[in-house]
Structure 1
Amino acid sequence: MQSLHWVINTAPPFHILEGQYAGQGICDVLIDVLDDALPELATKRTVLPQTRIRQQFQRNENQCFPCMIYRPTPGETIQSEPTHFYAPHGIITTQEKAEQITQQHGNPVRLGSLVHDRNFRFGYPAGRHYPALHDILEQARQSHLNPVAHSGENATVAILSMIKKNRIDYTIEYQILQQFDHKTTDDSPLVFLEIAETQDQYVLGAIGCTNNAWGEAAIKHINRVLPQVQQHPDFLDVLDLWFTDKVGNQEYRQLLQQRVWHTTEDHP
């Protein structure tokens, strides 16, 4: 194996291609640090819509995507060891709609109740998947839920814009997207609400490569250097930039040690 082919999409704050924080997306920096740790491999990056990235995995094209949900059992992709973690998906909406949603569906929000409420329109970026919430959303789809799926470039940011313009009422996302919106816009701030069904859970992130011989070789290279990548100052700094809220009563870095590094020792 002589090279890595990274595929990325315009989905801040995972990848940020323009503006004040260009190049400071979580997975932009993860790729930077990995590339530096693997100087023997040539690398390139291709920007594609999320739906196209998935199609290429299904067609067995050689590529790696740095921002996947960790699954230990290979499917369309074979994955690295975990790189970091996320608090679970929640509801992002306006302050006004947040008050209405919590009055009717609780706080944390009972998603199984909200998705059956026809007074609130749900939208999401095409290609986005919610494994922990799949059964709830699928049941709602079978009855009446017809969510707005936005495809193409900048789909995640476009969904937030649609919420602000009252074209949809809420989306399901990680809190870091609300943080990105707060840091980069002067609009009325959006609100993040926890989901009752996944409260206190967490999601591991990982790098996924095509599930073939090329991908297996790529993951072996990545896993070999991952311990130093996980604790690289540049990667930790970008995690600090976007994971600014405490999770429960603990700082993100404390939980990172326990959940990803599997240690409670102090690290720089």
Structure 2
Amino acid sequence: MPAHTAAHTTRRHAAWRTVSAAACALAIAAGLAPGAAQAKDVMTWVMPDFPPAAIPVNGKPGNGVADQAVNFITARWPDAEHRYIYANARRTWEILERGEAVCFPAALRTPERERIAYFSNTNLLPPPVLIVRGASLPSVPLNSAGEADLAALLERAKLHGIVVDKRSYGAAADGAIARRPRHSSLQIIPVSSYGGNILRMIAAKRADYTLDYDFALAYEMSRAPELATLKTVAVAGGSAPVTVGVACPRTPWGRAAIRRIDRLLGTREGAAALMQAQTRWQTEASRQRHAAALAEFTRQRGKPSPASDYE
């Protein structure tokens, strides 16, 4: 399998090498055979710099939600050398779409992404919310339930929004963004992180709103008091929890890798570790709101996914 180096710059990105998917699939399959004699394989993880989903420590997974999923997997996959690269959302999905031999452990699962990647579910998270500067909140269009009407908001050219290129914010929000009018003041930007800098831009009055998770805002607020001016509003049509998981490319290599990953996660121990990883960072309000859905998700995660998921 290929060796990949950590990449935050274009120069380092150029060092990537493509590999034969069939050869990689055979190598992974060999790793599944008990007692198979072989050289140690390389398993490369593309990680986000996105606290608290991922909190890198010296270029390796730390104590974030996705970090702990990866640490659980790698501790039970000793016959591979695990390597880590950090990339933004655009770079990550370009890599996966090309079929590179890597897996991404913090992927929001959508039908569009399932066309280019296999998934093993790891977390059921509260949906992203609208995060808006307090002074701009009165201008946000709301429905009768007090939820933000995102489509109407995107019509208002005077309100400037920012979202991250190639990030998914859930089906409802993604659809509204895709259908936004030409005069919309929403900016879609590629950034090295997944949104922390955007929150600071809003607090500094360089924009009015973005979309993100409430626990991501809570994490950033604990480190940047100036973010206390930001408020959260639920998005109309986007109240259902979102599924996040490990994504591997839709190739023979990716299928073999994701099936092994899913078997490692699909135990009571795995389900408990994944739930503990997210509840540590999740807000109490969201835990209570989605308690029943979380309990059912954990029950299902306590066993491997059906083989039909990877056909």
Distance 1:207 1:193 in 2: 28
Q: Does 1:44 align with 2:83?
A: yes
Is the CA contact 1:13–1:242 (under 8 Å) kept in the aligned structure 2? yes
Q: Among 255, 258, 262, which residue is 2:296 paired with? A: 258
Moved more, 90-99 or 130-139: 130-139
Is the CA contact 1:150–1:158 (under 8 Å) kept in the aligned structure 2? no
Q: CA deviation at 1:173?
A: 1.4
Q: Does 1:113 align with 2:178?
A: no
Is the CA contact 2:52–2:281 (under 8 Å) kept in the aligned structure 1? yes
Residue 162 of structure 1: aligned partner: 201
Distance 1:41 1:132 in 2: 39
CA shift in 2, pair 1:186/1:133, >3 Å: closer
Residue 230 of structure 1: aligned partner: 271
Identity, in percent, stands at 20
Write out the 4+ residue segments of structure 1 that deviate beyond 6 Å after TM superposition: none
Q: CA deviation at 1:99?
A: 3.7
Q: Counterparts in 2 of 1:23-102, with a 5 A limit?
A: 23-71=62-110, 74-80=114-120, 82-101=121-140
TM-score by length of 2: 0.74
Q: CA deviation at 1:248?
A: 7.9
Distance 1:46 1:249 in 2: 35
Is the CA contact 1:7–1:64 (under 8 Å) kept in the aligned structure 2? yes
Q: Among 53, 64, 77, which residue is 1:14 paired with? A: 53
Residue 205 of structure 1: aligned partner: 244
Is the CA contact 2:126–2:290 (under 8 Å) kept in the aligned structure 1? no
Q: What RMSD in Å do the two structures reach over aligned CA positions?
A: 2.4
Q: Counterparts in 2 of 1:142-161, with a 5 A limit?
A: 143-161=182-200
Is the CA contact 1:69–1:206 (under 8 Å) kept in the aligned structure 2? yes
CA shift in 2, pair 1:155/1:114, >3 Å: same
CA shift in 2, pair 1:24/1:184, >3 Å: farther
Partner of 2:279, secondary structure, is helix
Q: Does 1:122 align with 2:161?
A: yes
Residue 171 of structure 1: aligned partner: 210
Is the CA contact 1:6–1:65 (under 8 Å) kept in the aligned structure 2? yes
Q: Among 242, 246, 253, which residue is 1:214 paired with? A: 253
The residue type equivalent to 1:92 in the other structure is: I
Answer 1 or 2: higher relative contact order, Cα 8 Å, separation at least 6. 1
Distance 2:125 2:132 in 1: 19
Unpaired runs of at least 5, structure 1? 264-268
TM-score by length of 1: 0.85
Per-residue CA deviations over 1:136-195 (Å, capped at 9, x if unaligned) read: 222214x32242233232241111111011111000112221121222222241211101
Q: Among 182, 196, 201, which residue is 2:236 paired with? A: 196
Q: Among 177, 189, 192, which residue is 1:137 paired with? A: 177
Distance 1:71 1:151 in 2: 20
Q: CA deviation at 1:249?
A: 4.5
Q: CA deviation at 1:98?
A: 2.4
Distance 2:52 2:151 in 1: 28
Partner of 2:114, secondary structure, is coil
Partner of 1:28, secondary structure, is helix
Corresponding residue pairs, total: 253
Is the CA contact 2:108–2:168 (under 8 Å) kept in the aligned structure 1? no
Residue 266 of structure 1: aligned partner: none
CA shift in 2, pair 1:8/1:109, >3 Å: same
Distance 1:122 1:250 in 2: 27
